[in-house]
Amino acid sequence: MMSRDIKRIAVYTSGGDAPGMNAALRAVVRTASYNDMHVYGIMRGYEGMIDGDLKRLERGDVGNIIHRGGTILKTARCQRFLTPEGRRSAYESLKAFDIDACIAIGGNGTFTGASVFSDEYDIPFIGIPGTIDNDLYGTDFTIGFDTAVNTAIEAVDKIRDTADSHNRLFFVEVMGRNSGFIALNTGIGSGAGGVLIPEKNTTPEALIDFLKKGARRKKLFSVVIVAEGNQSGNAQDMARIVNEAFDFYDTKVTIIGHLQRGGSPTAMDRVLASRLGFAAVEGLLNGKENVMAGLVNNQVEYTPIIEAITKQKTPSNDLLRMAEILAL
């Protein structure tokens, strides 16, 4: 494939915000500027693309944002982009600004939209994985994941103090509707007494047996991490089941929720975002199209977007087994 003459690019953030998105944006703008490219930021993701809400970004516009959570470009869910008419309006907006290529920062939904759009119109895309769920194939880590796990672990550390003081059993729910990466890493990192994730069906009976083993060792307090998409139920459901099975556990539920999405990104997320933002622009200059820039074994790899969103990425069985053993 011959390289295109890429002079004007648009960059946008879409879907759920993730700490590190601003760091990725900064890297995109400054790398593009270094290569004499014009950069336009699209406000509010696909909504702004349809409405033509684009603004020129210079190097100074992305100063002092590497440490900020959220996204200065804002983000939004966009039902209009699901329609052919909406995508046509988005294409006309991009052409009005003479955009040669787009860089999408987001997760599965963002990349699905980019894939459909690139099939219909001749505008190349490169994706940067920005989602706390860490569920995209083609990268060992997604931007925001490390920060989300650190936020969850900090919360669990505080909850553990109360659990220990009052001999309580806490069910702590973390994000992860379809992915258990946050729950598993939070469980390991916080020394939790159990982890329940969507990828592994831990039945209520198995959980009760596990808690009985702890009770026989006089372990009257514990913390169980539950991904919101756990097959047997969320934290509220599991707490109710345990309450019905035991008369000596003082059971409580804490839902960490959107706290995991906010806050200043960790050093790991800032470096990851910077590397992938840089790689996205370099990829466009080297003729890469419709791929996601990811990090595999600490090396930048480009994965076709269609593979990133269709191939399944699941937690390591070794980590799952280790989490079970360390929780005993």
Q: What is the arithmetic mean of pLDDT over 59-65? A: 97
Catalytic residue among 17, 100, 133, 135: 133
Predicted TM-score (pTM) of this structure: 0.95
pLDDT tens digits, 139-178: 999 999 999 999 999 999 999 888 877 778 899 999 999 9
Active site (annotated) includes residue 133: yes
**In this model, does residue 199 exceed pLDDT 80?**
yes
> Which pLDDT does position 217 carry in this prediction?
65
Q: What is the arithmetic mean of pLDDT over 221-234? A: 91
Q: How confident is the model at residue 1 (pLDDT cuts 50, 70, 90)?
A: very low
- Separation in Å, CA 117 to CA 75, 87, 175, 235, 309: 18, 7, 29, 38, 14
> Which pLDDT does position 215 carry in this prediction?
63
Tell me what percent of the residues of the chain surpass a pLDDT of 70.
96
Taking alpha carbons only, the member of 176, 195, 178 closest to residue 238 is: 195
- Separation in Å, CA 13 to CA 28, 73, 139: 12, 7, 18
Q: What is the arithmetic mean of pLDDT over 179-196? A: 95
> CA-CA distance, 100 to 122, in Å (whole number)?
9
Specify the higher pLDDT residue, 88 or 245.
Answer: 88
The whole-chain average pLDDT of the chain stands at 93
Q: Which residues contact 115 (CB under 8 A, 6 or more apart)?
A: 125, 290, 305, 306, 309
> Which pLDDT does position 161 carry in this prediction?
87
**In this model, does residue 2 exceed pLDDT 80?**
no
**In this model, does residue 108 exceed pLDDT 80?**
yes
> Which pLDDT does position 167 carry in this prediction?
74
Q: What is the arithmetic mean of pLDDT over 89-106? A: 98
What string of H, E and C letters represents the secondary structure of 168-233?
EEEEEEECCCCCCHHHHHHHHHHCCCEEECCCCCCCHHHHHHHHHHHHHCCCCCEEEEEECCCCCC
> Which pLDDT does position 3 carry in this prediction?
65
Q: How confident is the model at residue 6 (pLDDT cuts 50, 70, 90)?
A: very high
All structural domains of the chain, each given as residue ranges with its CATH number in brackets, are 8-144+265-310 (3.40.50.450), 148-261 (3.40.50.460)
**In this model, does residue 219 exceed pLDDT 70?**
no
Tell me what percent of the residues of the chain surpass a pLDDT of 90.
82
**In this model, does residue 211 exceed pLDDT 90?**
no
Q: What is the arithmetic mean of pLDDT over 70-90? A: 96
> Which pLDDT does position 207 carry in this prediction?
86
> CA-CA distance, 17 to 314, in Å (whole number)?
22
Q: What is the arithmetic mean of pLDDT over 90-97? A: 98
pLDDT tens digits, 244-283: 887 767 889 999 999 999 999 999 999 999 999 999 999 9
Three-state secondary structure call for residue 38: strand
How many CA atoms are closer than 13 Å to the CA of 39, on its beta-carbon side? 28
In 256-296, DSSP assigns E strands to 291-296
